[in-house]
Amino acid sequence: MGPIDKRYRKVSVRIVSSLVLVLLAIASSLAAQTVGLAPAQAAELSPGAEAATPEPNLVSGCLGELFDAGLIATDAPFVFVGRAEWEAPSFGIAAAEDGSVEYVIALYADWTQSFYRKSAWLVGNVEYRLVRVSDGAMLSHGSFGGPPDSALAALDTNRAAASVGSAVGSACVAALLSLSTGGK
């Protein structure tokens, strides 16, 4: 190996080492964050009603994305509330403060009964907002819709719910990543 090759090798090692350090810094700032999931659904779907919605799959899809990003994540049981109660800026914050959570993802799921299979409940729409617990600042918000009603969708409501939950989790991870790299 000639002197020029050795110089290039030293430069390459330095560049790779620098990139690894930058990636570790970003990952460590994101990994130290704790996120709580505060899921809710319409009060008319309360326990004992005919509805058997696949909400555990919605939650697990979201938590999976958070865990995959290296976040410490927890969830609360689904609560049955009216829309106005969920829209209150304080929804989910008190429980998060008690649990030493830095961020809360407040979810509100609307479910639609399938025309093709009466026992099947499809994700209609899931709204979310990502809130910083320390000051109540809303950092991100949005919504994701489920699949249109069809015979096929009615057969796999769990997968559809997990997919929508995963989309919510991905959106929140992206928002948190932008915060850890200098966003607001």
Q: What is the pLDDT of residues 39-49, one digit of tens each?
A: 999 877 655 55
For position 162, what pLDDT does the model report? 94
What is the second-level CATH architecture of the domain 33-180?
A: 3-Layer(aba) Sandwich (3.40)
169 C-beta neighbours (distance < 10 Å), count: 27
Nearest to 134 by CA among 175, 99, 93: 93
Mutual orientation of helices 3-31 and 157-180 as an angle, nearest 10°?
110
Distance CA 64, CA 68 (A): 6
Q: Provide the greatest CA pair distance for the chain.
A: 78
Structure token pair of residue 125: 């729409």
For position 54, what pLDDT does the model report? 83
Locate the domains of the chain by residue range.
1-31, 33-180
pLDDT tens, position by position, 143-168? 999 999 999 999 999 999 999 999 99
Mutual orientation of helices 157-180 and 55-68 as an angle, nearest 10°?
30
Low-confidence ranges of the chain (pLDDT < 70): 1-32, 45-52, 181-184
For position 172, what pLDDT does the model report? 96
